[in-house]
A and B are shown apart, each in its own frame.
Chain A
Amino acid sequence: MLSYLSKRLLLALVTLVLVSFIVFLASDVLPGDVGRTILGNFATQAQVHALDVKLGLDHPLLDRYWIWVSHFVRGDWGTSYTLQVPVFGLVMRHFLNSLILGAFALVLIVPVSIAFGVLAATHHDRPIDKAISVTGMSMLALPEFVTGIVVLVLFSIVVHWFPVSSSVPVFSLPSIVRNLFLPALPEMVLIFGYVSRMARAGTVEALNAGYTRTAVLKGLPRHRIMLRHVLRNSLLPTITVVAVQAGYLVGSLIVVETIFNYPGIGNLIYTAATNHDQPVLQAAVFLVALVYTVTNLMADMLYAVFNPRVRLAS
């Protein structure tokens, strides 16, 4: 068990180092002339050069990588080129906003998705299963901006229930629902697709497993078989998916937050990318990758804790 966990931890660390290098390379090499981008077309070459020196862009690549990483670890993420504010606070504030939005969507939809997935599995290959599966698949396939637009037309324009543009809620239930429900809907559609599908697949497998047949033949009551034999095994893969999905949600947040004008990390990455705001972009993208790697790691560990076969195999 311990050796499995430490091996997994080590792998995650290696991945993180590579991730940091990719982020650095992508945001450092691609923008080309940073000084020129900031100062615009009317600055003299001398001014551009002076700014490049001030930003440390005249150092060799590996030096700059090291400077960036060592500062990043200490929480010194630099200053935004366009907003002239410290990057750490900026990125963290937007990240927290996205976290609130994501958590809201997850809490509402995950139990529902699991329930529908299990319902589909217990009615395997019957019309109710077909209906749930095709609905879930379609929800998964639709781009977020399509669901986002439809949601916006329905709830803000046809019936004026929700504001067209969302802000971060103050801590009261009406405010939370009012500001988060619409932007959370496209996310929920996506999560429902994933989670119900996983829950269904896991449950179908567990229902057909030998241990379930043994339990049925032993004459155990049905609800007991479902709880102790089927669900315990079928929900394992679902946990992994929910965790991995938490990281991937950030990708869909770019679109959703742009549509609803919600000040989250996706919105920040999009504006930073279009404005060539390199420090913000580096920090925000690395944070996203960090979260993804850590959630993935936790999912694997949870899986190992719950599943004796994984735990003991190593």
Chain B
Amino acid sequence: MSAVGLEATRAARLDSRRARARAVLGQLVRSASFDVGAIIVVFWVVDAIFWHVMVPQDPQALNPLAALQGPTAAHWFGTDWLGRDVFSRTLAGATSVLEIAPLATLLGIAGGTIVGLVTGYYGGAVDALVMRLVDAFLAFPLVIIAVLVLALLGTSEITVIVLIGVIFTPVVSRTVRSVVLVERDKEYVASARLRGEGDWYIMTAEILPNVTTPIIVESTVRLGYAIFTAATLSFLSLGIQQPSPDWGLTISLGRQYLQIAPWIVLFPAIALATLVVAVNLVADSVQQVMAR
């Protein structure tokens, strides 16, 4: 094929990909569950970035005289055991989880994509070995690995991000590998090989663009799990530490006041519930639209 012809097919391929992306976006916007989920997610993302200007009071301001008060006009969601404003803390509490979860997801997706591309493309002994390792790794419930590592290593925001990313890598790699296995036997890969392209070029420039759909679907699903895991680790006091207004941590600490001041844990719990359900609504719609 001449160089001009190659450019033309490449441009055509890019055009058809853009058209498809536009079609997918259109379908998504028309899906009610996507819209509801996306609005809630956008709300929490905006809140996570701009909570400084949204909170009525400083979320860290102590006021022991006003401790454990129920919801009033001054404190919409009541106050906690140190007299801090629960409404302000609930708004400020979105930041930590929305920092950790996307970064961890990105890390897991990147790692899993590389492992999946390499094992799927080369196959053979390396593939068999890596997949057995993945099997062995997946035999542990994710939270148990996290508890094990964090309790023994100690915790920090970076450790939590890296850990969740590493835990996700085998899961993602399995998904990516299964689609790469299908793609690698197609004609365009054979023709790239005949043109004399290197393995790395074929993997990244030829196969990767054709497996983006399952990777995008996997990312949205993983993001939900990442929020879930990060919050659970905070709840087990193995994640974000005090005095952060993080939701999981607040629920863990506020538990002992459950009988006298349930609002301390109830509002962060509701906030977290809306976020995870919203992310899953989005993930579910993306999965349905893209699978078509």
The chain A residues found within 8 Å of chain B, CB to CB, are 11, 14-16, 18-19, 22, 26-27, 30-31, 134, 137-138, 140-146, 149-150, 152-153, 157, 247-248, 250-252, 254-255, 258-259, 269-270, 273-274, 276, 281, 285, 288-289, 292-293, 296
- Nearest-neighbour CB distance to chain A for B17, whole angstroms, equals 29
Identify 8 residue pairs between A and B in the complex whose beta-carbon atoms are under 8 Å apart, listed by A's number.
A15-B135, A19-B139, A26-B148, A142-B273, A149-B251, A254-B143, A273-B151, A281-B148
Given known A-B contacts A31-B152, A152-B258, A248 and B235 have beta carbons under 8 A apart: no
Kindly identify, within residues 233 to 280 of chain B, every residue whose CB is under 8 Å from any CB belonging to chain A. 235-236, 248, 251-252, 255, 258-259, 262, 265-266, 269, 272-273, 276-277, 279-280
- Nearest-neighbour CB distance to chain B for A38, whole angstroms, equals 14
- Chain A residues in 8 Å Cβ range of B144: 250-251, 254, 269, 285, 288
Given known A-B contacts A143-B231, A146-B269, A157-B262, A27 and B152 have beta carbons under 8 A apart: yes
What's the Cα separation between A75 and B248 when bound, in Å? 38
- Nearest-neighbour CB distance to chain B for A265, whole angstroms, equals 10
- Chain B residues in 8 Å Cβ range of A27: 148, 152
- Chain A residues in 8 Å Cβ range of B284: 137
Residue of B139, B142, B236, B262 with most chain A CB atoms under a 10 A cut-off = B139
Please name the residue on chain B nearest to A146 by beta carbon: B269
What's the Cα separation between A250 and B145 when bound, in Å? 12
Please name the residue on chain A nearest to B143 by beta carbon: A251
- Chain A residues in 8 Å Cβ range of B151: 273-274, 276
What's the Cα separation between A311 and B58 when bound, in Å? 64
Q: Is the CB of B280 within 8 A of A140?
A: yes
Q: Is the CB of A30 within 8 A of B236?
A: no
Judged by a CB distance under 8 angstroms, whether B110 is at the interface is no
- Given A22-B140, A146-B269, A149-B266, 14 extra CB contacts under 8 A: A15-B132, A19-B136, A19-B140, A22-B136, A26-B152, A141-B228, A141-B280, A142-B273, A153-B265, A254-B236, A255-B236, A258-B236, A269-B148, A293-B139
What's the Cα separation between A234 and B278 when bound, in Å? 29
- Nearest-neighbour CB distance to chain A for B286, whole angstroms, equals 13
10 closest A-B pairs by beta carbon, nearest first, are: A251-B141, A273-B151, A18-B136, A30-B152, A141-B280, A289-B139, A251-B143, A141-B276, A145-B235, A138-B277
What's the Cα separation between A140 and B141 when bound, in Å? 16
Q: Is the CB of B141 within 8 A of A288?
A: yes
Chain B interface: which size bin?
35 or more
Q: Is the CB of B132 within 8 A of A18?
A: yes
- Chain A residues in 8 Å Cβ range of B266: 149-150, 153
Q: Mark B211-232, 1 if CB is under 8 A from A, else 0.
A: 0000000000000100010011
Q: Is the CB of B269 within 8 A of A149?
A: yes
Given known A-B contacts A142-B277, A254-B236, A153 and B140 have beta carbons under 8 A apart: no
Judged by a CB distance under 8 angstroms, whether B27 is at the interface is no
Given known A-B contacts A18-B132, A143-B272, A270-B236, A149 and B143 have beta carbons under 8 A apart: no
Judged by a CB distance under 8 angstroms, whether B153 is at the interface is yes
- Chain A residues in 8 Å Cβ range of B60: none
What's the Cα separation between A270 and B252 when bound, in Å? 14
Q: Is the CB of B280 within 8 A of A292?
A: no
Q: Is the CB of A285 within 8 A of B140?
A: yes
Q: A11, A143, A247: which contacts B141 (Cβ < 8 A)?
A: A247
Q: A134, A153, A269: which contacts B262 (Cβ < 8 A)?
A: A153
- Nearest-neighbour CB distance to chain A for B77, whole angstroms, equals 15
- Chain B residues in 8 Å Cβ range of A153: 258, 262, 265-266
Q: Is the CB of B139 within 8 A of A146?
A: no
Q: Is the CB of B148 within 8 A of A138?
A: no
- Chain B residues in 8 Å Cβ range of A276: 151-152
- Chain B residues in 8 Å Cβ range of A250: 141, 144
Q: B141, B153, B252: which contacts A292 (Cβ < 8 A)?
A: B141
- Nearest-neighbour CB distance to chain B for A254, whole angstroms, equals 6
- Chain B residues in 8 Å Cβ range of A296: 139
Judged by a CB distance under 8 angstroms, whether B49 is at the interface is no
Q: Is the CB of B235 within 8 A of A143?
A: yes
Please name the residue on chain A nearest to B142 by beta carbon: A251
Q: Is the CB of B281 within 8 A of A137?
A: yes
Q: Is the CB of B277 within 8 A of A30?
A: no
Please name the residue on chain B nearest to A140 by beta carbon: B280
- Chain B residues in 8 Å Cβ range of A157: 258-259, 262
What's the Cα separation between A152 and B255 when bound, in Å? 10
- Nearest-neighbour CB distance to chain B for A146, whole angstroms, equals 5
- Chain A residues in 8 Å Cβ range of B132: 11, 14-15, 18
Residue of A138, A146, A247, A252 with most chain B CB atoms under a 10 A cut-off = A146
What's the Cα separation between A18 and B148 when bound, in Å? 17
